[in-house]
Amino acid sequence: MINEELKSLGIENHHKGTSTGTAWFGSGDRIESRSPVDGKSIGHVSCTAMPDYERAITTALSAKSAWSNLPAPNRGEVVRQFGEKLRLHKNELGRLVSYEMGKSYQEGLGEVQEMIDICDFAVGLSRQLYGFTMHSERPAHRMYEQYHPLGVVGIISAFNFPVAVWAWNAALALVCGNVIIWKGSEKTPLCSIACQKLLTEVLTANHLPEGISSICTGSADVGRWMAEDARIDLISATGSTRMGKQVAATVATRLGKSLLELGGNNAIIVTPHADLKMTIMAAVFGAVGTAGQRCTSTRRLIIHEDVYEHVRDALTSAYQQLKIGTPLDTENHVGPLIDTDAVKHYLSALSEIKKEGGTLLVEGQVLQGEGYESNCYVKPAIAEVENHYAIVQKETFAPILYLIKYRGEVSEAIALQNAVAQGLSSSIMTNNLQEAEHFLSHRGSDCGIANVNIGTSGAEIGGAFGGEKETGGGRESGSDAWKAYMRRQTNTINYSNTLPLAQGIKFNF
């Protein structure tokens, strides 16, 4: 089913999981990429063993100066060409994302569009990368700050955005003058291989050396090697909070830099002043889109008692209309979970909800039979719960939506929304200006993303993306997120014939 796409991406014969560009190698264990869509094998990839990793790092280091010596706008031109290449291959890459990861074809295309958008953004950025100038207290002195490339940027990414998260990092890191080395998820290795192939074609056409973009394939071990490696100047890691805590601790012991994009536990607050039609649409898309496997998926709805019953009934009836099946068919709303382990987590969360006293309004179920052969399709569930339940406090990466009632002012709802360990995305549905502004103020949402009259998922690349608390504090993508990929230097230049000291200090000899 995917052979044409693999062929058109030039990866039908690729089984080696380490690449420095045109060179492909890999002497580690072979892993199988199996589609959650139909359970069929897509291909085998040999993982990165330690000697392969060493070769990749050494090649990356050898390419560092060629790339950083290229003026930033010329680096931007290479990234522009990569964006063009993605435009040409949007359909087949989108289809591969959909088939290997299980999200809908439309969302697969959306991921590739996000890659194109960040390339465009990075091209403009390549003529900026600006620092400030400031006035010196000393006469005939000039002060300014500038940003230099870091060197090697290591990217560790999750299965659920198998191409876009890499592109957010890659496009910015490259225009900032860094070489990149990427370990994608072991669950989506062919997506990584396809991206590396496309970028390599552009680098090679520009006569650039091996090592500017590299990939490694494998389990957490390869990620651990990267986190420990002092030759990597920045580790940008996207994944679970559990992974982020380990990576942060390892990188911190070598006083390295890390940028962390971790789990969320995102809520929509529904006040009595909400447009309820829009609320239902936002909640359903947020909770069941990508089968609840977005870091920004809506997990909790915090609903005022005056509108609680209306929202509850409208949601339960909307859930009866959901079509579950292959994500390659545009008629379906919900595709599969990534694998049968994810199904186990979903089932265990459902039984935890009951154990803690929650009520399932829409029961969950693992679907079987024709069209569900992969055993990864589940029914989206809705449960009435209390915010303090241990299961509600956790991110379960599956389509389970929690309904929580609040009674008083909007501040009560905000307190509930903030009373979790994660701080990624949040939103409020209201047409009341005071409620909206309260939610956006410092007394409001404690998340990195706070929306009004929009759901929690579906961010644009122009804003900085990321979250607080156990979400890790990192920011990627737009705004000034590029600064994480550069080192800042403050420069003071004396153009007089005297040497006055700062703070008026006198030193005579």
> Which of the residues are catalytic?
261
Work out which of 240, 375, 418, 432 binds ligand NAD, going by CB under 6 A: 240
With contacts defined by CB under 6 A, name the span among 145-153, 179-187, 197-205, 369-377 that binds ligand NAD.
Answer: 179-187
Work out which of 37, 78, 158, 416 binds ligand NAD, going by CB under 6 A: 158
Work out which of 295, 315, 328, 349 binds ligand NAD, going by CB under 6 A: 295
Distance of CA 482 to the CA centre of its chain: 15
Tell me how far, at minimum, the Cβ of 127 lies from ligand NAD, in Å: 27
Question: What is the H or E stretch that residue 459 is in?
Answer: none
Q: How many residues bind ligand NAD (CB under 6 A)?
A: 30
Tell me how far, at minimum, the Cβ of 438 lies from ligand NAD, in Å: 26
Work out which of 21, 154, 263, 336 binds ligand NAD, going by CB under 6 A: 263
Tell me how far, at minimum, the Cβ of 224 lies from ligand NAD, in Å: 5
The position carrying tokens 């994302």 is: 97
- Using CB under 6 A as the binding rule, whether residue 183 contacts ligand NAD is answered as yes
Q: How many angstroms separate the CA atoms of 422 and 425, rounded?
A: 9
- Using CB under 6 A as the binding rule, whether residue 161 contacts ligand NAD is answered as yes
- Using CB under 6 A as the binding rule, whether residue 219 contacts ligand NAD is answered as yes
Q: CB of 96 within 8 A of CB of 190? A: yes
Tell me how far, at minimum, the Cβ of 468 lies from ligand NAD, in Å: 11
The residue length of the chain stands at 509
Closest CA to 131 of 494, 495, 489: 489
Work out which of 19, 20, 104, 238 binds ligand NAD, going by CB under 6 A: 238
Write out the DSSP string of 229-283.
Answer: -TT-SEEEEES-HHHHHHHHHHHHHTT-EEEEE----EEEEE-TTS-HHHHHHHH
C-beta of 136 vs 240, nearer to ligand NAD: 240
With contacts defined by CB under 6 A, name the span among 200-208, 237-245, 299-307, 315-323 that binds ligand NAD.
Answer: 237-245
With contacts defined by CB under 6 A, name the span among 95-103, 207-215, 235-243, 381-389 that binds ligand NAD.
Answer: 235-243
Kindly list the distances between the CA atom of residue 66 and the CA atoms of 70, 79, 149, 170, 406, in Å, as whole numbers in the listed order. 7, 16, 12, 17, 59
With contacts defined by CB under 6 A, name the span among 24-32, 182-190, 199-207, 209-217 that binds ligand NAD.
Answer: 182-190
- Using CB under 6 A as the binding rule, whether residue 223 contacts ligand NAD is answered as yes
Kindly list the distances between the CA atom of residue 434 and the CA atoms of 102, 145, 282, 366, 405, in Å, as whole numbers in the listed order. 41, 40, 21, 43, 21
Tell me how far, at minimum, the Cβ of 223 lies from ligand NAD, in Å: 2
Work out which of 194, 247, 343, 428 binds ligand NAD, going by CB under 6 A: 247
Q: How many angstroms separate the CA atoms of 107 and 97, rounded?
A: 9
Q: How many angstroms separate the CA atoms of 450 and 463, rounded?
A: 12
Q: How many angstroms separate the CA atoms of 218 and 33, rounded?
A: 12
C-beta of 223 vs 335, nearer to ligand NAD: 223
Write out the DSSP string of 353-412.
Answer: HHHTT-EEEE---B--STT-TTS--B--EEEE--TTSHHHHS--SSSEEEEEEE-S-HHH
Q: How many angstroms separate the CA atoms of 425 and 266, rounded?
A: 5
| Interaction pattern, residues 15-54, with ligand NAD; x per rule: CB under 6 A | ----------------------------------------
Tell me how far, at minimum, the Cβ of 241 lies from ligand NAD, in Å: 6
- Using CB under 6 A as the binding rule, whether residue 227 contacts ligand NAD is answered as yes
Classified as helix, coil or strand, 12 is coil
The pair of three-digit structure tokens given for residue 52, joined into one six-digit string:
């392969």
Work out which of 195, 262, 303, 410 binds ligand NAD, going by CB under 6 A: 262
Q: CB of 472 within 8 A of CB of 248? A: yes
C-beta of 37 vs 222, nearer to ligand NAD: 222
C-beta of 192 vs 279, nearer to ligand NAD: 192
- Using CB under 6 A as the binding rule, whether residue 107 contacts ligand NAD is answered as no
Residues of the shown chain interacting with ligand NAD in the complex, contacts defined by CB under 6 A: 156-161, 165, 183, 185-186, 219-220, 223-224, 227, 238-240, 243, 246-247, 261-264, 295, 395, 397, 424, 471
